[in-house]
Amino acid sequence: MKRRFHKMHGLGNDFVIFDARETPLALDAARARAIADRRTGIGCDQLILIEPSAIADMKMRIFNADGGEVEACGNASRCVALLAGGGARIETSGGVIGAAALGDGATIDMGEPRFGWDEIPLAYAMDSSAMPVGWEELRDPAAVNVGNPHIIFFVEDADAVDLERLGPLIEHDPLFPQRVNVNVASVEDGALRLRVWERGVGLTRACGTGACATAVAAIRRQLVRGPVEVHLPGGTLSIDWEPGSRIRMTGPATHVFTGEIELEALA
């Protein structure tokens, strides 16, 4: 049977989105990998499955290109908000988030960040706001869970970091029992320049949860004040947060095309 999908992106972080609210769709890791494969499948950074929810307007399930199911995706949340139109409460395995579509983008209430070492999670106890660890020139990071786990390094020049080499080393370090998304950021004129090595994908054009985690870590260190603009290779997000409150992320979402795929032909 052919299934309809939407190809969408948020700042170049791209998705294949299936609406499975009426007709269930079985997606395992092998099938997710086959669809995400840019040579033989449709190609995307993440696969998104919209399902019915008992506690919100809909449920969003997220699969990385490596087939692993994960808890949160900021850029996909804006795309799903655009598809839903208007406002929606979206259940994810990282928590319920609130979405409001606005023209060609959306504002998302991404919930409260978590800082406990066991909430990130880290393998052993330490202060997640100033971690006494380092990998080559990347030192003194902070870790934040915004539904999914992130580590953030503040550096002089984010563009100068060899993230393609260091990203996978850090992602797979035993300090992170669930692996981790790796962010390198520099402060520029009260804004943040950010590059992200995403867990289960690699370098992406943008990462919404990475922008949220980095803004929160930078505000906690008093490097910037919210709302802060976060400049990623694919474009800019605005992130607002103050200690004790929920994170708000605003940015664009783009519908590229609607297609059909014969799932049985894959994997």
Ligand X SMILES: N[C@@H](CCC[C@H](N)C(=O)O)C(=O)O
* Binding-site sequence positions for substrate: 13, 46, 64, 74-75, 148, 181, 198-199, 208-209
Angle at 150 between CA 148 and CA 154, to 5 degrees: 155
Contact status: 97 vs ligand X (CB under 6 A): no
What residues does 203 pair with on adjacent strands?
A: 197
The structure tokens listed for 229 are 């603009």
* 209 contributes a contact to ligand X by CB under 6 A: yes
Q: Out of 63, 198, 218, 228, name the contact with ligand X by CB under 6 A.
A: 198
Q: What is the closest distance, in whole angstroms, from the C-beta atom of residue 2 to ligand X in the complex? A: 27
Q: Which of 145, 148, 186, 214 binds ligand X (CB under 6 A)?
A: 148
Within 8 A by CB and 6+ apart from 218, the residues are 152, 154, 185, 187, 192, 224, 228
Site for ligand X in 159-188 (CB under 6 A): 181
Q: Parallel, antiparallel, or unpaired: how do β-strands 2-10 and 58-64 relate?
A: unpaired
Q: What is the DSSP letter of 192?
A: E
Cβ proximity to ligand X: between 200 and 252 the closer is 200
Stretch that binds ligand X, among 22-30, 66-74, 160-168, 214-222 (CB under 6 A): 66-74
Q: Does 208 bind ligand X (CB under 6 A)?
A: yes
Instruction: Note whether 110 and 212 are within 8 A (CB).
Output: yes
Q: Contact with ligand X (CB under 6 A): which of 41, 111, 113, 200?
A: 200
Q: Which of 17, 123, 114 is nearest to 61 (CA)?
A: 17
**Which residues are known catalytic residues?**
73, 207
Asked if residues 136 and 166 have their Cβ atoms less than 8 Å apart, the reply is yes
219 touches ligand X by CB under 6 A = no
Q: Are the beta carbons of 184 and 193 closer than 8 angstroms?
A: no
Q: Among 18, 31, 67, 74, which residue interacts with ligand X (rule: CB under 6 A)?
A: 74
**Cα 104 to Cα 89: distance, rounded to the nearest angstrom:** 19
C-beta separation of 51 from 59 below 8 A? yes
- Residue 105 makes contact with ligand X by CB under 6 A: no
Should residue 207 be labelled a site residue for ligand X when binding is judged by CB under 6 A?
yes
Cα distance between residue 8 and residue 257, in whole Å: 7
Minimum Å distance from CB 31 to ligand X? 18
Compare residues 154 and 176 and give the one whose CB is closer to ligand X. Answer: 176
CA geometry: angle 166, 170, 145, nearest 5 deg:
130
Single residue of 16, 27, 31, 64 touching ligand X by CB under 6 A = 64
Residues of the shown chain interacting with ligand X in the complex, contacts defined by CB under 6 A: 13, 46, 64, 70, 73-75, 148, 181, 198-201, 204, 207-209
